[in-house]
């Protein structure tokens, strides 16, 4: 049965500036668990680690990411010139590769700073990135990139969709697989679209959803 939440604790959680704007997303139960047990105190070693991670995050977010963004803009501008086919392909590849690298450096740098500062408030915020470039497929990618958002959408979008649609669909394993593919598409589209409401990010969401669904559909078609 649902329990009444302590209003002061919930207000503190809701107004937590460390995860209010962009994440990482911390669950309320994880937040309250830390409040109950409290993390270890702040010693000299902790301060050194905090300073190190803040420095790394600032460097990634304000130096590396801005340099990547400048290069991306230059590549986009270069498409307006009269280029050969090979040059156009090379510039297009630069655009495709540079922007995700910019997003990673910018967002992971921000998360480094927020997670490190959270430690000063005795909060262990969840990690949001785990070497996403080593992912084998789209699903694995989103278990490594913006991990907390993926987990949140799995809980509040994917699982409810599956529980709602599965009892209403008849047709055996093939139908179940297609329902799962549809739920995956909706979830991963939202994952991509969350990063921005421009057409670029909506297209990014479609690519993410399609990348997850197409292998499932192809497998069902082969059977």
For residues 208 and 47, what is the distance between their CA atoms, to the nearest angstrom?
A: 39
pLDDT at 39 over 60: no
What is the pLDDT, as a whole number, of residue 150? 83
Highest mean pLDDT: which range of 111-115, 167-171, 205-209: 111-115
Q: Residues 122, 39: contact at Cβ < 8 Å?
A: yes
Q: What percent of the chain has pLDDT over 90?
A: 22
* pLDDT: which is higher, 20 or 176: 176
> What are the two backbone dihedrals, phi and then psi, of residue 78, each rounded to the nearest 5 degrees?
-65, -25
For residues 66 and 82, what is the distance between their CA atoms, to the nearest angstrom?
A: 27
pLDDT at 202 over 80: no
What are the helix (H) ranges across 60-198? 65-78, 85-120, 138-142, 147-153, 159-165, 172-194
What is the pLDDT, as a whole number, of residue 201? 73
Q: How confident is the model at residue 218 (pLDDT cuts 50, 70, 90)?
A: low
pLDDT at 196 over 50: yes
Q: How confident is the model at residue 65 (pLDDT cuts 50, 70, 90)?
A: very high
What is the pLDDT, as a whole number, of residue 1? 46
- Range scoring the smallest mean pLDDT among 56-60, 65-69, 194-198: 194-198
pTM: 0.78
């Amino acid at each position: 049965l649902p329990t009444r939440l302590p209003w002061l604790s919930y207000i503190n959680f809701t107004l937590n500036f460390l995860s209010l704007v962009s994440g990482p997303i911390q669950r309320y139960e994880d937040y309250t668990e830390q409040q109950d047990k409290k993390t270890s105190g702040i010693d000299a070693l902790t301060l050194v680690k905090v300073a190190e991670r803040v420095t790394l995050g600032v460097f990634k977010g304000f130096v590396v990411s801005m340099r990547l963004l400048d290069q991306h803009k230059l590549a986009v501008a270069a498409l307006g010139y009269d280029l050969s086919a090979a040059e156009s392909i090379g510039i297009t590849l630069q655009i495709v590769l540079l922007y995700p690298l910019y997003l990673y450096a910018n967002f992971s740098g921000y998360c480094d700073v927020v997670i490190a500062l959270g430690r000063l408030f005795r909060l262990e915020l969840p990690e949001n990135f785990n070497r996403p470039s080593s992912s084998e497929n789209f699903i694995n990618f989103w278990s490594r990139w913006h991990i907390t958002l993926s987990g949140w959408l799995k809980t509040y979008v994917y699982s409810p969709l599956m529980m709602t649609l599965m009892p209403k669909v008849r047709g055996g394993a093939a139908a179940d697989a297609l329902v799962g593919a549809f739920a995956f598409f909706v979830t991963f589209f939202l994952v991509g679209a969350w990063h921005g409401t421009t057409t670029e990010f909506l297209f990014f969401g479609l690519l993410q959803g399609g990348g997850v669904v197409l292998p499932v559909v192809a497998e069902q078609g082969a059977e």
